[in-house]
Structures are given as C-alpha cells and as structure tokens.
Structure 1
C-alpha cells in the first residue's frame, strides 16, 4: 500500500480505431461504433481499484491528463464528458491549472467535437496528421488527406484550442517518395504551437513487418532516417520552434507538461488496456487486449498484466537517458563525477555529439541520433 497520495499526472488509453494502420502495434481494436459506455465503466472500475489498493484519499488536483489511443475522437462529445465525470469522482480538475490533452484523428474530428471537448475541459489537442502529402498518407493507410488535416487544425483553433500539436512520421521505406522539406514548410504554415516527430519502427506481428519479410517493400533505411531527422530538426528550428526534446518541438510556452512527467521520472497513473504507469520505484503495465482487460476488471482480478521494480542501476541509466533526450541535459554534478572517473565528454563534444551550455551537457542533433549508445557508456562510467 502506498503511503503517499495519488500521482498528479494521469494517462487514459482509448483502444478503438475505425481502421488499423499497417505499421501499428498499439492496443487497438477496430470499431466504427466503439463501445464507449463499456469502456467508461471499465475506467471507472480501474480508478476505484487503484485508490482502494493504495489507500489514497480522493480530491488532489491533477497537473496533467493525457487521453491517447487508439482514436479518442471516436468517443464523441458524450464520451469525453463521461470520462471527465469519472475522473472528477477521484481527482480535482482545475481549468486554470490542469493541462488536459486529447488525441484526435483529422478524419473523425470536427468543429462541433472540438467545441464540446473544449467546454468539457480539454485544453490541448494532439492531431495525428502524420504527413502532409496525399501519396504518403495513402501509403500510410490514413483516412484523411492533406486538405482535411489543414481543415482540422483550423477547426481546432476556431473551437478555442490555443495549444494544438500535430504528429509527423519519417523514416519510411525506400519505395515511399516524398518531399519532406515541402511538408515541413506546410506544417510550419499551419502555425500550430507544437509538433511531435515519430520515426517509423517496424514492429513484429504487424502487416508492415510481413510485407518486408515477403519482399513487397524494403526495410526502412538507416541513412534515410538520419538524413530526414536532420532535415526536420533544422527546418523546424528555423521556423521558430524550440526542440526541447529529441522528438518534440514547441513555440515559447507551449511545451507539453504531461510529457515532462515522464522525462522527469515523476509518478503517473495509467488507465486502460496496455497502459503503462509509474509509482516509483514500480513500473506496471495493464492487460493488453481490450476484451481481456474488461474481463479482468469485471471478475475483480484488477487491470495489471505485470510490474517490475526499477533498481538503482536501471534508475541511473534512465536518468542519464532521459536527461540527454531533453534540452535540460546532464547535471553539473553528474558531469563532474564521470569526468573524474576518466570519461572525457570533451571528446564527444569534438565529435559534435554533445555541447556544453551553462554548465550542463546536452545532446546535439548528431548526439540524439546516437542517444542509446551515449547513455549506455555514461551509465557504465557511473557504475565504474
């Protein structure tokens, strides 16, 4: 039983999509008419389970809420109102303080939904645009085109969302031709407050992995991945966005506070199938499939599929890796320690992978492309 209060950040997973993209391995079930009321009932049971299990008192104010998926825009106005009601039974949502993000697909988002969500309390919208080229969107299997993506951004802003983020994917197979520079220019012209980048990862058991195995498409090329990452980083910075994390760019004051709860290793509660939470030092993950998650709650078994205790070595590696992936970098104390142990960060600076600013060491664009290797070596020096 936890002696501390509940976390101040909350993630909620909505596991339904009208269409499953061929590269996706998330906990997603295809449903043109999702069972929203059943999902809300399951979330209600899981919230009670966490509070009763840990002896938490209700009423603390949430700093952040993030509703992801899946396609949360398929829950409609009533679904978000129902979610707000169930969260409010345990937490306080403060319109002046709580950052509340919801993901949406341009194909299922419109002005009416945006106005309804805004009235409910959602104040930050994340649109799964992925690309601004119709041929690329067709290959990705998305249900919207470039024009619809731009319309969704306009509708979101007209509905009162001052903070709108769009996702862009890169590092596609060699058969997919695109003018990424033109897409970045088009994305900047939308004048959204935030952009998130996602390099394509070929996950096992996805149609894309099978296509590559059968030779129908080529595997994503590492050189193309690196070149496109450099282009995106350079051009988005030139357009006035701050790259505050390896994959995230924001206008001044528009960084995603919820993401910082992950990068700072603060506790957060995660609800819904496959959701991963962190109550230090315990990381836990929920049952993956929607039907099994719902059944586990209905039978009183609880939502968890598994958990692990993060030990001192794993914690140190996480702190290094998470520090380097943001523009906060490594603390001066840590830098002094590894330097005294013989690891020369100047060598990585000379290679163009790290840079020192105001006593903190941060990764450059080239360093972010080598983040895992740098973090592993630093963690080894820390343990030496």
Structure 2
C-alpha cells in the first residue's frame, strides 16, 4: 500500500496539537510496510518537523490551483490519500478523485470546525447554539464526498449522528495516541506557580487567555498573592504581550520549546476554554507531565469518558478559581488529580492500542470503498456537482495566474 498525506501546512509539533496529530498519523503508518509520502503547498518554517530525517518518508512540494498536481499524483498513484483538514480536501479532493478514482480518500478532521464555529458564534452573540453555519456547509459536504473521516472525539461522532446525514460507516473514531507516562514526576513541593499553554493562532486559546486575565486570575491572586501564572504559546501577538504584568503575576512568555517538559515545572495547569472542539493537546501534555489541569467543560469534552477528572469541572470564574486554589494548596487534592489524569491517559489513549488501530481502519475502508460509495448517494451527488464547481474555480485561478506579467505575485 502507498499512502499520501496532503497537509494544509507542514506539521509543527511545538506549535499546536494539530502538528502532533499529523506526526501520530505518520507514526501509526510506520508500523506497517506501507510506503508513506507527505505533500504540502505551504512554505516550511523554522519550526516545521523534518519529516524525511525524523521518519524516513518522502516529502513533496506541490502547488495550489495548478494542474501539475494532477500529473504528479497520477504518477505517484497512492492507494490511500489522507487530507489533513476539510479545507485540504476542498483544494485537492476533486483532483485526486479525477486522477485516481480507485484510491481511498480520507479526511482527518482534527476537530469539527463547524462545532467550534457554532460555539464561537453562540458565545459572542449570547444566542443558542446553531450548527447550521457556513463552515458546516463546507465541512459536512467534504465529509460526505470522501470515503472515510477520522474523528478525534466520541462527542463529535455523536454530534454528527444527531445533526448531519453523514453515514456512520463513513466515520471512524481515532483519538490521541499517548505514550506511557513516566513512573516518577517532580513532587508537589518541588513545583510552584500556574501555567497556561496553547498556540495564539488558535482563537479559543486567545479567548481563554483574555478570559483568565479578566475574570479568573484576579480571584486566584486574592487567595494566593504570591502565585504566578506563566502563559506559553506559539506565534505570540503584540496584543498578548500587552497583558504581561510582573506586578500582578500574569506573565506572557511566548513559545515553549518542549510543552511536556515546560508543564512538568508547574504545579497546576489552567484550561478555561469557553469554546472549541476536538481533544485538547494541552491537557494530554499535562497528563504526561504529571501536572493536574483545572479545566472547563469544553476543555475536558471527549477526554475523560466515564472516568473521574480529579477536580471540579466548571467555567464559572469563582468556582474555577476556588478549585484552582484548592488543588494548588493541598498535596492530597493535587495528588488525587494527578492520579486521575494519569489514569485517563493510560486507559483511554494508550498508543499501544491506538497506533496499530489506524492501519486496520484504513485497510478495512479501502477494501469496502466501492460498497461504501454505492451506499452514499448524497456523496455521489456532491462529488458530481461540488467538484465541478470547485474545479472550474481552480482552473480559473490557474488561468489568471498564467496571464500575469513576470515579477507579480500569484493570486
């Protein structure tokens, strides 16, 4: 089997959980004898993982809105093509379907973008949650066009079943794949202070930082006047730097080179997320660092299952701050919360189970692809009509680019 992963960006595992997710895909596929390729139209950054050196896989630079991709992918002839987001499927799905009609097409959703957007809109407008947004029209159409979608959260499987006509056989649950936590950690009295972590490019993280600065941290400081809160996140904007205050103990520090190592230095992790979707990499990293997380319902969604989180889960600022102060000050409460986090990591997300699972899921979907497509009439309709409109737009952009004079940038 030959597998091609098409990425929106080159994975940056030190920047976001999405980058780690892509590496988990590759780690899983490397357990087989399959041939693995990764292609991307974006520019690499200094933080991009060197996939060829790290995993010994082939990487390729490709072009958006360029028919050169068609010939290239037809020559590569992968048996399975994985799009790392629904937007990537929009860009390249019609080209893959046209050049390689027999290849299995898969979306790794990372999280349901339409759910995240619905929650954002509900929070900002103070209106009831509505999943019928513009993002849903695009994302669900993409899920219907492909043969299989990898869903990271059980809650999102349920959401799709309740609200959208995506066939259950076109969905597969594949969550985090976490390594076994270490046997020993820095002790309670060897740690101090609070921490928050998450990419500033991800809007829920920036909202959580502002919410904490405005409503939660002042309450914690009333209870613990000497405590500090250190904020880490990639792509730190100027507006976040302006929140930095040594006097109030609210310190904005920028990128963490190693999130797990960074988290292991702190006593308590804060995750007051007010909207979002999927699973939270910051909480998984905190498990592996042995650092208890005080979290909101949105943050823990899909993480704990039926297991005990170890502390009260709330987004109410007063309750959140009281729980944070209690875990911070009590060795017994702290130890209990740490133990609960480790149990969640070991029982729900062990890589020993989930890494070998993905090749099984993909092989089964590949074997059943003709049957799956035949049963998915809505997907057939969308492939016929949506791909045609997407194709015409892409070809128009390509033709426009070719008519530009030398020295001008592409549109």
Q: TM-score range by the shorter chain?
A: 0.3 to 0.5
TM-score relative to the length of structure 1:
0.32
Structure 1 or 2: more strand by fraction: 1
